[in-house]
Amino acid sequence: MKKFLSNYYLIILTIVVGILALIFQFGFQLNLVSLILIHSCAAIFVVITVVSMIKDLIKGHVGLDILALTSIISTLFVNDTINGITIEGYWACLMIMIMMASGQALESFSSRKANKELTELINKTPKVVHLLTDSGYCMDIDIKEAKIGDLFLIKPNETVPLDSTIIDGNSPFNMSSLTGESLPESKKEGDKILSGFINGDSPIIAKVDKKDADSQYQTIVKLAKEVDKKPSKFVKMTDKLAIPFTIVSYLLAGLGWLIAYITNPSISLMDGFTRFVEVLVVASPCPLLLAAPIAMISGISQAYKKNILIKDPIAFEKLANTKTFAFDKTGTLTIGKPSISKIETINDYSKDDLLLYMASLEINSNHIFAKSIIESSNQTNLLKASDIKEYPGKGVEGFIDGVKYKVGNRSFVSLDDNIEKGETLVGLSVNDNPVGYIIFRDKLKRDTKEALSSLRDLNVNKIIMLTGDNEKTASRIAEEAGIDKYYSSLSPQDKLNIITSTSDDDRPIAMVGDGINDTPCLANADIGIAMQSGNDGAISEVSDIIILNDSIDSIVLAKKISINTLKIGRQAVLIGITTCIILMIVAAFGVLPAIIGAICQEGIDLISILWALRAHKQVK
């Protein structure tokens, strides 16, 4: 109730004053009481408007409040005549105040509607942790009091409050709030879970890895709250139009006064002033003040609904006109995990034998390719290996039935350097004689090729790939993805040099990456887009847009939403301002009484805001 009153107190005040004024004037014929009520309400409006103007000037903004101020004061001193009936000026003043207050209320309502998804995100922020004490008791504490290393309980169907590691239990977790993945993923002891995940049907004991302020969900909330602090260039541009619009409004009002004297030289000074007021009454600033920011907020909220977090509205605006996209390879265009591409044998070993012996040695290994090898073999039929030794960066050695086997890189298994040169492979040797090898390749994400094609349809002129991988791998991935140009064997500095040296003809340029080594490029590109996938928040600080679901398709969608948002915002401003100027010209010829003009002004406001809210509709 308190929040409702704070947002809508002006409209409540003006409606109550209006009802009382009507009762006193037409019920009890106490015109003076009605006059005092409306003048008092006008005084409150004037004070509020002047205070708002001063605050705007202090912030360096020149607003349009002067038009509203002039209209309120002026209408108190003029009367309207409609069909021979004289209407006291203070009724027109009341109508203007009702329209202004309802416009403010409409703005508040529209902003809340446009910001619905972000508001829900903030409202769902976990606030309590079920801390497990040393004595085994469970007690609720404020989330800010939890420390790294604390053990806590996650009850079934509860939201994970902090980034943590499961200590005991296993349960399916819904990760859709962070990644957009609708299917639950099972988590067990030792697995990492992020704040914002929703527990399934089993209780879990977890250990705090990050404090409240550093956990994933809270980081996203913090970034979402900061969006409104960075108005886009489009919003700033409409704000700058305030002064020209104000000047045009006063010139048209002056023209109306002049037309009144030209058409009827005998009219009084007050009648001429009435024409001046009638023009100003329809000079609605709403399309400039509200339509653009509401469209932008609507677009940003729509993006978040699709797991696209916009940190910087300026970059979001630039995305609509992006000419070049630069992609990191591993984890961005590709899955980022090695998978078996080819198995080759030497001598009498079969492919199944190769996998069997490799998996038998790798079963307990931390080697990067071990998981793929083990998953591809028949794990129920593994051989018993003894005296296993692991050599970091090289491979694994062990004995099976007294025979020495090695699994590892070329030199470790004595494989010729010219075999499959440039490919990533793991070989197997028996008594130091190579008997076969497996080639591993990183595969494209399923949506990569189609997404890059869609970007070209959205007027992206150039798509390049920046990678630290060798020429052969880079060439293969670029060809599969349909990339225009690629650069291989790059250091982070090399990547940065390419981004910063991009010509003006190819800008704006967007950089898309997913790792720490991409941060210099993300920070220096016109638009930095981080493929976060809910796993690593380290690149959040330097990126402008964060893709939470790890999908290249989401980049295409982000660009579509950006294009749609700017288009609708421009339309809302153009429709509102054009209509406003037409009505001012009509009023200049004396055919639009002030009280009717005030109603028309509200119609302009309503149309502009409702049009801007169209940016909140789903973009496909």
Kindly report the pTM of this predicted structure: 0.74
Residue 542: what residue type?
V
148 is a domain residue: yes
pLDDT, mean of residues 118-126: 68
Structure tokens that stand for 272 in this block: 């001429």
Q: Is 174 found in the same domain as 160?
A: yes
122 is a domain residue: no
Domain containing residue 140: CATH number:
2.70.150.10
pLDDT of 3 reads: 45
Q: Which residue has the tokens 């108005």?
A: 231
Q: Which residues pair with 132 in a beta bridge?
A: 138
In 3D, which of 103, 119, 90 has the Cα closest to residue 25? 90
Range in 42-51, 176-185, 210-219 with the lowest mean pLDDT:
176-185
Q: Which residues pair with 441 in a beta bridge?
A: 339
Contacts of 74 (CB under 8 A, 6+ apart): 273, 276, 277, 280
pLDDT of 313 reads: 86
| Number of compact structural domains in the chain | 4
CA distance 258 to 400: 105
Q: Is 461 found in the same domain as 316?
A: yes
Q: Is 111 found in the same domain as 239?
A: yes
Q: Is 419 found in the same domain as 353?
A: yes
Q: Is 149 found in the same domain as 177?
A: yes
**What percentage of residues in the chain have a pLDDT greater than 70?**
84
Mean pLDDT of the chain: 83
In 3D, which of 39, 19, 216, 240 has the Cα closest to residue 126? 216
Q: Is 245 found in the same domain as 96?
A: yes
548 to each of 114, 118, 149, 371, 531, how far by Cα in Å? 20, 14, 27, 26, 7
Cα Rg of the chain, angstroms: 34
Domain boundaries, position 549? 308-334+445-563
Reply yes or no on whether the pLDDT at 606 is more than 60.
Answer: yes
Reply yes or no on whether the pLDDT at 402 is more than 80.
Answer: yes
Identify the domain boundary among 169, 191, 223: 223
8 A C-beta contact, residue 428 and residue 407: yes
Reply yes or no on whether the pLDDT at 109 is more than 70.
Answer: no
184 is a domain residue: yes
CA distance 58 to 30: 43
Domain containing residue 366: CATH number:
3.40.1110.10
For 436-476, write each residue's pLDDT tens digit. 999 988 889 989 999 999 999 999 999 999 988 888 888 98
